Amino acid sequence: MAPSRSTARPLSAALLAAGLAAVLAAVVLVRAAAAAEAPWLVAGAGAAGAVALLVIAAAVLTARAAAVGWGVALLAAEYAIFLVGRGAPLDAYAPLLGIGLVLVAELSFTACEWRGPHAVDSTVELRRWSRLALAAAAGGGVGGGALALAAAVPGSVAGLVIGAAGVVGLVGLAAWLRASTSGETQPAP
């Protein structure tokens, strides 16, 4: 029989996910309002951020993990609207926003998972959070390096190649994390 879990455990991950999503949405909206020349872009960014918060909050409160991706995508859309309205080619805070999006997604999925019927295994969770921290650090390093190269040599092919390799690496990392954690939460036969 699985050990009993406190109800505060999934609630803490849900509150962290929703809180971080709110901070990301607010920061992007404030930056959009300060930098955008067209008010409709600020309104679009604000609308995307507000809907993203509602979707993420509903997903973690109802334990619907399938909706988490839509909420994170809406947060990313808010940032994309900000970038379009800003008109500048580079944003030095992009790697930080990417790390924030990964953390919102992972905390949201964790909040949904902890409400499920599986038993909690502390070694599995320690490995998961260690991989997440490593992925965030690597993503920040690669993103910062690509930004530094793009700023040093505008329009460089090397910056484009590093950026494309970063995207491919991110997709591969997401697939690896998914494959390595999907079997860990299943009960042993």
CB atoms within 10 A of CB 180: 12
Q: Which residues have a Cβ under 8 Å from the Cβ of 24 and sit 6 or more positions away? A: 75, 97, 100, 101, 104
Query: In the 8-state DSSP scheme, what is residue 115?
Result: T
* Domain coordinates in residue numbering, the chain: 7-116, 118-189
Average pLDDT, the chain: 76
CB atoms within 10 A of CB 135: 19
Asked if residue 88 has pLDDT above 60, the reply is: yes
CA–centroid distance for 37 within its chain: 27
Nearest to 163 by CA among 147, 178, 175, 151: 147
User: Bigger pLDDT: 39 or 175?
Assistant: 39
pLDDT, tens digit, 9 for 90 and up, residues 104-125:
888 888 888 877 666 566 777 7
Query: In the 8-state DSSP scheme, what is residue 155?
Result: T
Q: What percent of the chain has pLDDT over 70?
A: 67
Q: What is the predicted pLDDT for the residue at 189?
A: 46
pLDDT, tens digit, 9 for 90 and up, residues 146-160:
667 666 666 666 666
pTM: 0.70
Angle between helices 157-182 and 122-152 (to 10 degrees): 170
Read off the pLDDT band of 54 (50, 70, 90): very high
Lowest mean pLDDT among 30-44, 50-64, 107-121: 107-121
